[in-house]
A and B are shown apart, each in its own frame.
Chain A
Amino acid sequence: MAYGLLGIVTTFGLAWVSAGVFLALRCHREGRLFGPSSRWWALAAVALTSGTSTIAAFAGVALMRVVPPFVLGIVVPSGLWLSNIERIGRRRPEERHGRIPEVPTLGLALLLDRLHQAMADDRLTWCESRVDQMWNQDQLLAAARYYHAAVKERLPTRERRSARLDARIKAIEGRLDMVRFIEDGASAAKVRAELRARARRERRYERYERYRDDLMRLAALLRHDAEQELIRLLDIAYRFRFYRLKGYAGATREPRVGSVAELRPHP
């Protein structure tokens, strides 16, 4: 009896460690497995997986004693069908109707789904906490350059190209340069010409054409896109586990000078 209990505890313990390792491998490059929002989902997934594995292991051994091997030969291939149900269970939340597909996976698909969502939430919160919307253009640009340099320095050389770090900082600089151009009082005609010239080099500038007659909103949209690009740059840092990357502190918090709300374009 004592041996049986020890066997169960040992199997559960080993299954727990194994589940933790494989879950970490599954979530590689997604960020922190045990982050503020994700930790409970991660623990639940590990507990469910290790519990199910322990039960399956002991049930399997008991079954082998009473069931002829050919029965297992018939039953095991059903995994092909079960994996298909699991795939259905992994549909995106807004695409699902009902929870029936989650039953065959014992809710594991749902737990993993929620874990990935919680990790994405932690990641985005971490990134957003490092970008202050009160920064003025110069501070935002300085922060972007600081983060770019910090990430580039830490990122393995082979990953730098795929992370498109230089393209991202160039995109941020381009948009903030355009904001400055507007805030310096460029006329609407000059802004339109500049937008057209930039759109020829980078197609994404076509997106700004719709606000070419509303310079205040155009500047706000450009700044917004620069911030979004900076968040994407920080997203890389988080995925590569640079959690201790310090927030940009080179600027004191002060109201944005010459904010887009105060813009008065030249006649």
Chain B
Amino acid sequence: MALSRRGKDRPSSVDEETIGLQQEVVDEITWYMREHKVTRSDLAGAMGVSPGRVSQILSGGENLTLRTLGSVVAALGARFEITLRPDDDFVTGAR
């Protein structure tokens, strides 16, 4: 199966997708923290970083690495679920 290169024609959509994904990850972390009554200081203590570092992560102003995300998830004692599935508007299949 070949993939189309339509993504190259829509660079802005790639940027938006990345920003959206990042915001979704941050929203998910903050939602988990709220549900489990975890403060920024609690998370900072569990991660072994300053509360400011946690604020940096939660502001979504930087490109989160998988290692950072892994540290957050491990500190929260949670599990991160990732699902990849075809996007009907994007992948067109064989060419």
Contact = CB atoms under 8 A, between A and B. Distances in A.
Given A117-B53, A120-B59, A224-B30, A95 B20 contact: no
Q: A interface, by DSSP: helix, strand, loop or mixed?
A: helix
Contacts of B59: 120, 123-124, 235
Q: How many of chain B's residues touch chain A, expressed as a range? A: 20 to 34
B45 interface: no
B24 A207 contact: yes
A198 interface: no
A225 B27 contact: yes
A233 interface: no
Contact of B55 (A92, A94, A114, A117): A117
B4 interface: no
Contacts of A224: 27, 30-31, 34
B39 to A, nearest CB: 12
A94 B53 contact: yes
A221 interface: yes
Interface residues of A, number: 24
A123 B55 contact: yes
B61 A94 contact: no
Contacts of A114: 50, 52
Scoring A94, A123, A203, A207 by chain B CB atoms within 10 A of each residue's CB, the highest score goes to: A94
A204 interface: yes
Given A207-B24, A224-B30, A228-B27, A93 B60 contact: no
- Residue from A118, A121, A203, A207 whose CB has the most chain B CB atoms within 10 Å: A121
Contact of B68 (A94, A117, A207): A94
Interface of A: 37, 92-95, 114, 116-121, 123-125, 203-204, 207, 221, 224-225, 228, 232, 235
Given A94-B47, A117-B52, 7 more contacts: A92-B53, A94-B49, A116-B56, A120-B52, A124-B55, A204-B24, A225-B27
Listed from nearest, the 4 A-B pairs whose CB atoms lie closest are A117-B52, A121-B52, A120-B56, A94-B71
27 contacts: A37-B52, A92-B65, A92-B67, A93-B50, A94-B68, A94-B71, A95-B65, A95-B67, A116-B52, A117-B50, A117-B52, A117-B53, A117-B55, A117-B56, A119-B52, A120-B53, A120-B55, A121-B56, A124-B40, A124-B58, A124-B59, A125-B55, A221-B31, A224-B34, A225-B31, A232-B60, A235-B59
